[in-house]
């Protein structure tokens, strides 16, 4: 890649095992990757390949079993719980597929929650810009159970961005959204990278969603198997298909997920009006 920006976050031989001995799951098998500041990166790959595990360890939500994570020059793996809490509070935003809003609080209170917890004041102009861009003006006093899925996710995105974090992690942020909401959310994420210099790392099962990113990485069995600059939906679909064929040749019996994936469902309308296809069984 030309004109490299400094790294926002990088991993060195990152390993994550769940369990021990014969039952151990090797979720990350020595991952070396660097994410530049001010770039939008998509992470794709089969179900169970380690994408969420990577996001959680990068965001300090889970500890690594080996290797190092360097966040803005500091070694995250050497930080204690207090330091990690402060890092997450001030420098990291996380968007989950299942929104994770607090049910007793209004949309506005949910958006402002990271600042409330930190005892900090909001930047009113930034709050207004987020709310307006995400189309939430008329929903601010509603609680999550009075909002649609798309509206809840837009609240969660505003909450992730309210502190102007160094890095935003998004784990299938459009997984529960209709096609129009998905396109709006992806356009907003892209805009926040282009215009505000935000750094975003997003897991997605949808090749069109990945095409909004500047770079797309394909994960398989705890390792990076492809790394594309300026990914197109066609290129990413091709890479995922190749990976599935390779896994099948390697002798893996097709799972119910893979069998279901043979009947693709339209999901996200691309900016050019095209429709993408996602594996319904893979979107967890």
Ligand X SMILES: Nc1ncnc2c1ncn2[C@@H]1O[C@H](COP(=O)(O)OP(=O)(O)OP(=O)(O)O)[C@@H](O)[C@H]1O
Residue 24 interacting with ligand X (CB under 6 A): no
Interface residue with ligand X among 48, 60, 93, 114 (CB under 6 A) is 48
Phi, psi (degrees; rounded to nearest 5) at 98? -95, 20
- Write out the E strands in 125-269: 167-171, 199-203, 215-220, 223-229, 265-269
Number of residues that this document lists for the chain: 284
Shortest Å, Cβ 171 to Mg ion: 6
**Residue 142 token pair:** 């509603």
Nearer to Mg ion, 97 or 237 (CB): 97
Build a one-symbol-per-residue string for 28-57: x at contacts with Mg ion by CB under 5 A, - elsewhere: ------------------------x-----
H-run or E-run covering 88: helix 81-91
- Return the one option of ligand X, Mg ion, none that residue 27 interacts with (CB less than 5 to 8 A, by type): ligand X
- Return the one option of Mg ion, ligand X, none that residue 47 interacts with (CB less than 5 to 8 A, by type): ligand X
Nearer to Mg ion, 52 or 182 (CB): 52
Among candidate residues 137, 158, 139, 157, the one with its CA nearest the CA of residue 148: 139
Question: What does the alpha-carbon distance between residue 173 and residue 108 come to, in Å, rounded to a whole number?
Answer: 20
Interface residue with ligand X among 11, 52, 77, 279 (CB under 6 A) is 52
Task: Return all residues near 157 (Cβ < 8 A) that are at least 6 apart.
Answer: 95, 130, 134, 170, 173, 185, 188, 189
Residue 279 interacting with Mg ion (CB under 5 A): no
- Sites for ligand X among residues 28-47 (CB under 6 A): 45, 47
Phi, psi (degrees; rounded to nearest 5) at 24? -65, 140
The DSSP symbol for 25 reads: E
Residue 49 interacting with ligand X (CB under 6 A): yes
Query: Which spans of this chain sit near Mg ion (rule: CB under 5 A)?
Result: 52
Q: Which residues bind ligand X (CB under 6 A)?
A: 18-19, 25, 27, 45, 47-53, 282, 284
């Amino acid at each position: 890649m030309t004109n490299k920006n400094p790294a926002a976050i990088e991993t060195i031989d990152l390993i994550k095992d769940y369990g021990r001995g014969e039952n151990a799951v090797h979720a990350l098998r020595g991952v070396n990757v660097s994410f530049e500041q001010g770039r939008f990166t998509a992470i794709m790959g089969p179900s169970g390949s380690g994408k969420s595990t990577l996001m959680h360890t990068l965001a300090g939500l889970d500890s690594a079993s080996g290797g190092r994570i360097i966040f803005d020059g500091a070694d995250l793996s050497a930080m204690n719980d207090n330091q990690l809490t402060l890092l997450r509070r001030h420098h990291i935003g996380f968007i989950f597929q299942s929104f994770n809003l607090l049910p007793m609080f209004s949309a506005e209170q949910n958006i402002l929650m990271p600042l409330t917890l930190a005892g900090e004041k909001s930047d009113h102009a930034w709050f207004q810009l987020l709310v307006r861009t995400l189309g939430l003006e008329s929903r601010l006093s509603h609680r999550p159970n009075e909002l649609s899925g798309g509206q809840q996710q837009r609240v969660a995105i505003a909450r992730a961005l309210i502190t102007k974090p160094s890095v935003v992690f998004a784990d299938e942020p459009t997984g529960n959204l209709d096609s129009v909401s998905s396109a709006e959310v992806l356009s907003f994420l892209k805009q926040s990278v282009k215009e505000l210099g935000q750094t975003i790392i997003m897991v997605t099962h949808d090749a069109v969603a990945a095409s909004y990113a500047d770079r797309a990485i394909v994960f398989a069995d705890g390792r990076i198997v492809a790394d594309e600059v300026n990914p197109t939906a066609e290129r990413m679909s091709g890479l995922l298909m190749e990976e599935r064929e390779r896994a099948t040749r390697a002798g893996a019996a097709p799972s119910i997920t893979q069998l279901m994936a043979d009947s693709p469902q339209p999901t996200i309308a691309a900016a050019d009006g095209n429709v993408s296809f996602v594996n319904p069984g893979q979107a967890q």
